[in-house]
Structure formats: structure tokens, C-alpha cells
Structure 1
């Protein structure tokens, strides 16, 4: 359904070009959920937004291949792109209060989206919006359709954002950290709702998150990103049970209920992610990696296939495999 090959996204508006995405390749099958995880600045959201061509094209350079359902997204003209957004691929943004228009009611925004893509009357579009609110379990849906975004709670806004994303029955759903601003209880509710809707509608989903625990709960496959590259990819089970990249292990160990040292302190990843405008010649994680050798700092590792569907970009995969499970 989604075929990304050697995608590179460079932002050119600053003093130096910033290589935000550096050679990403990713395939998503019909009805599959793939999670992108990693720290801030790893390229997750940039990859997602490229699927909708949301970058400022005057200040960015995009190369590679991005196909959705056989369509070349990077070659679309403005009219084709407008038809594609929302109808074929739609997005749940990280902060719905910023994504939703503050001067229109939420119901009007959903109705407008439906009527933009389908030849239906305002009354029919309104009924569909009402049905969507009921599907995402918003209480008093008729009253909430007439509400403005600021009049809704965070969890309710996120549900309204999901309804808007599903309004035109897309085939691909992009979810950019949809639970970041919510408390733990509401996070679980939204994640369960997304998974239920995905199965019910047969959607292909790319789910971006910082939380590897959330990724395991909702995803069929997980791709771990660091400094603009996918450093490990596999099924959720493979990455939890047999992580082969030191960065994946570090993410697992830094979970709140993950491995703790003898003093009861939460494990952390030392250092900071690299400057994307000055990427090192070798592995970008080498300066933070406890297993790094001299070769790691001078050689950009190629992808190593470890098992069917499981790959890692690391020169020390064998050494990592010899370590105890991080969870």
C-alpha cells in the first residue's frame, strides 16, 4: 500500500542544510500497522509529512520514491495532491488544538472535508459527521458537532481529529504521536480506539510515537529511527524479544517499567542526538553507544538481515545478540 524507497529530505532554509531524513526505505502492506519510534529529531514526523507533501517546497529538497497505492506522491500536481489528501491518505496530527481551525465549529470542518471530496448535500455530510462522532464515542455528538475546538477537552479533541481523518474513508492513516498531550488513562482509550477502527475499516496505518510500549500494543511491525535513518526494523515481537541494535535496547531499557540499576534509578541514554546539519561519517549513534568501536565511527553500517522481516544497521549485531534480554 505504501512504498517508500531511499527517501531523503533536506531542509535548506538555515545557515546549513539539515538532512532530516537520510535514505529511509519502508513498505506498509494493506491493513498493516507500522510504528515509527525514536527520540525527537530522528525524522519520524518529517517522514510522515512527506507522505502528504506538507513541507515548504521552497525550503526543502526531497528525493527518492514515495508511492501510495501505486501513485507517485512526489510527482503529483497541486490539483491531484488536493484530491489525494484526505481521500487516499489522511493524518491525525499531534496537537489537534493547532490542527483544527479555531474559527469554525468542528462539525463544519468535517462537513467541509466530506463535501470537498464527495458530491453529497450538506445535510447528508452532517449525518455522516454525526455517525463519525458516534463511532469514535464522543458523548452528545450532536451538541459536540456545534462546538469549537477550544470548547472540547484534550481527549475529545483527539477523538474529533480521528473522526476528521476518517471522514472521507481513506486507505492510509498517518498518526503523528496522537496521544502525546493526553493523560495516561485517555492515552489508553485513544490507542484502543485507533486499533479497533483500523481493524474494522482495514486501514493501513503508520503510527509515530516516542513510547515503545505503545508501539508494541498497536503495531504489527516497528521501525526504529535515529538521526534520519531506520536503524532497526522488525515485528513487534522481534524487537521486544531480540533487539539487535544498541539504540533499540537503550529505548527498551529506558521504559518506566523496564530495566533498573541496583540503585533503583531509571536507565537513561547518555549524551544527545547528533546535529543533523553535521552528521558524523560513521554510525550516528556511536558517540552514545556503550558497544562502539573505532570502526563504528568511520563506517556507515549497511542493513543486516537477521531473520525474515528483521534487519538492523549495526556492525555489532552479533555482540548485541549475546546480551541478556533488556525487558
Structure 2
């Protein structure tokens, strides 16, 4: 093996699990192109959990699906760098991409009833996934599927392996979806709002299960949610997205204690998070997100922001590094600090 290939292999094994550089995703097919993601740069380290948060339409799920190249290619234009485990996802041929999905990176979809095939039992789908990626027989794949059901704490796992998706409750389907995502021992787990359709008690159970599995298996995880409270519970770092851009990024503790972008602050004030001081009223975020087919030249949040100035509307604000692990795309960070919510321990 040459020195060059050795270096490449070492980088793949020790570098970041995910590296995004200036990622852009544009959808065509309508009257105007839709700029769903614009200039996103992000790294996820090995065994790290990063949450992407923001309102619907902010680009969270689009970013996640780009890591598996799940967008319809005829109508999607993707640019920038997308690396997972040292591999260039955008340059992968289809055959390599099919092996990559499930084996290197896998996804837990938001609605498992739609993601799971209704024609086959859940156990059959897990067995098929295992045999597709690994040279094992039917019996061994069955045993591994059973072990996965036990791992995600599905009651009566032998019987549930024979069940069809519609025969399971919402919480049980989500656990089965997690088992399917883990079937081929991926290095990266992508969780696209995995608790949205569940009641509060089941949501907590699923979040705790995901965090436990991540720690036990040493997984890198990107967790998409609109709930900043859920992000704080599971994530090491949080990236806040708005109109296709990351507007603030930092450790979960730093972001919840010292938010410096007006949008992050607005999200905190609008959520019933337990850390809000007693007597603090929840607030709404006025206005609506911008049209992604006609983004303004300046800050996309300016029309909804009480701190916005002419400079904000004229040009995109630069990314400012407030601390080694805290970056924000805003020119009014000092003023933002003054309107941040008061939190309690």
C-alpha cells in the first residue's frame, strides 16, 4: 500500500464522521428553483451526538437526506463537500451508494408506518437488510433480528417479528424502525424527528433508548428535531438552522445558557422548556419564514427580528466565533445577549 493510500485510510478512520463544507441543495421542477440548503458547513465527530433544530422548512431533513443522497437526482442540484467516514457521498456511483446505505450510515425516519413496507412483516424486512449487506444465512439473520428486538425492548419479540407494521403501536413501530436502522451495525445514525408522532411518555422512552444505544455502540448521531428541549436532552452539540443556513452552533449547554442569535433566543422563549425561570411567559415568533425560492440578499431572519438593522438586510452576516465551540451568524450578538431568556439550574 502506498503512503498516499495509507494516509487516506488513516484519515477515514480517525477524522470526523461527517464533514459538510458549503453544502447547497436546490430543488427544481416548480416555477422557480427552491434553495432548501445554502452554504451549510458542519462537522460531526466520532461517537458524538449533534442535533439540528429549527422550524419546519428550515432545511434540517433536507441536510440529513443529503448524507444518504436520497433526493430525486433529476430534480436536485447538490453542491459542496459531503463526506461520511472519509468517503465523498456526492461522488459515489450507485452500486457503492447502495452498499453505503445501511452499512456505513442508516436512518430512522420520522414516520415508520410510511417507511416500513406494509406487505412484509417487520422481521422479514430486518432479515432482508442483514442478508443484503452481510454474508449470513437465514437462520443467523433471524437470530440477529430477534436480538435487535430484544435490544430495543420490544415485548414478546419472537411474536412481534412476525407482525406487520400496521399491527404495531406507534411506539413499537418506532422501536422496530430503530432496530432496522441498527441491523447492519452502521457507524452513523441519522434520526429524522423520531418522536414527533408519539405521545409525551413514549417520546421520553424513545429518546432515552436512543441515547443509551448511542453510548453502548459508540455511534455518531445526527438528531433532527423542532423541539429544543429534546435536543438538550440527547445532544452534545446543537446546530440551529433557519431558511437553509446554520445560524448558531455550540455545545448544548452553551447554547441553552448563552444563546446569541435572535432566532435561537426566539425558539427558547417559545418552548415550554423546564429551564425557563418561574413566571416567564412563552412567546410566539412573529411573521413567517422567507420564501426559499426568493431568499433576501441579507439575513433571512431580519424581517422577524427586533434587532435587525439596515446592515442585516443588505448582506449576509458573517460567521462570528464567540468561543472555540460556539459560532453565530449575526452582527448583534451583544444586543442579543440582553434579550436572552433567564434560565434556572
What TM-score comes out, normalization by structure 1 length?
0.98
Within the candidate set 132, 138, 152, 2:148 is matched to: 132
Contact 1:234 / 1:309 at 8 angstroms: preserved in 2? yes
Partner of 2:225: 209
Backbone CA RMSD of aligned residues:
1.3
Question: Structure 1's 143 and 217: CA in aligned 2 closer, same or farther, altered over 3 A?
Answer: same
Shift of residue 295 of structure 1? 1.1
Contact 2:22 / 2:41 at 8 angstroms: preserved in 1? yes
In structure 2, C-alpha distance between the alignment counterparts of 1:225 and 1:261, rounded to whole Å: 28
After superposition, where does 1:134-283 map in structure 2 within 5 Å?
Answer: 134-257=150-273, 266-283=282-299
Shift of residue 322 of structure 1? 3.2
In structure 2, C-alpha distance between the alignment counterparts of 1:308 and 1:231, rounded to whole Å: 16
After superposition, where does 1:70-85 map in structure 2 within 5 Å?
Answer: 70-85=86-101
1:105-147 C-alpha deviation (Å, 9 max, x unpaired): 0000000000000000011000000000000000000000000
1:31 counterpart SS class: coil
Shift of residue 321 of structure 1? 2.1
Within the candidate set 138, 145, 165, 1:122 is matched to: 138
Shift of residue 260 of structure 1? 9.0
Any stretches of 5+ residues in structure 1 without a counterpart? none
Shift of residue 256 of structure 1? 1.8
What TM-score comes out, normalization by structure 2 length?
0.93
Partner of 1:53: 69
In structure 1, C-alpha distance between the alignment counterparts of 2:291 and 2:337, rounded to whole Å: 29
Within the candidate set 97, 103, 106, 2:122 is matched to: 106
Partner of 1:69: 85
In structure 2, C-alpha distance between the alignment counterparts of 1:326 and 1:279, rounded to whole Å: 33
Contact 1:260 / 1:267 at 8 angstroms: preserved in 2? no
- Are 1:287 and 2:342 counterparts? no
Contact 2:259 / 2:340 at 8 angstroms: preserved in 1? no
Within the candidate set 322, 328, 331, 1:306 is matched to: 322
In structure 2, C-alpha distance between the alignment counterparts of 1:194 and 1:87, rounded to whole Å: 18
Question: Structure 1's 266 and 135: CA in aligned 2 closer, same or farther, altered over 3 A?
Answer: same
In structure 2, C-alpha distance between the alignment counterparts of 1:171 and 1:299, rounded to whole Å: 39
Within the candidate set 26, 31, 54, 1:10 is matched to: 26
In structure 2, C-alpha distance between the alignment counterparts of 1:16 and 1:252, rounded to whole Å: 33
Contact 2:48 / 2:220 at 8 angstroms: preserved in 1? yes
Shift of residue 299 of structure 1? 1.5
Any stretches of 5+ residues in structure 2 without a counterpart? 1-16
In structure 1, C-alpha distance between the alignment counterparts of 2:49 and 2:137, rounded to whole Å: 34
Question: Structure 1's 32 and 257: CA in aligned 2 closer, same or farther, altered over 3 A?
Answer: closer
Aligned length: 326
Contact 2:229 / 2:273 at 8 angstroms: preserved in 1? no
Shift of residue 326 of structure 1? 4.2
In structure 1, C-alpha distance between the alignment counterparts of 2:287 and 2:194, rounded to whole Å: 27
Contact 2:112 / 2:177 at 8 angstroms: preserved in 1? yes
In structure 1, C-alpha distance between the alignment counterparts of 2:273 and 2:127, rounded to whole Å: 43
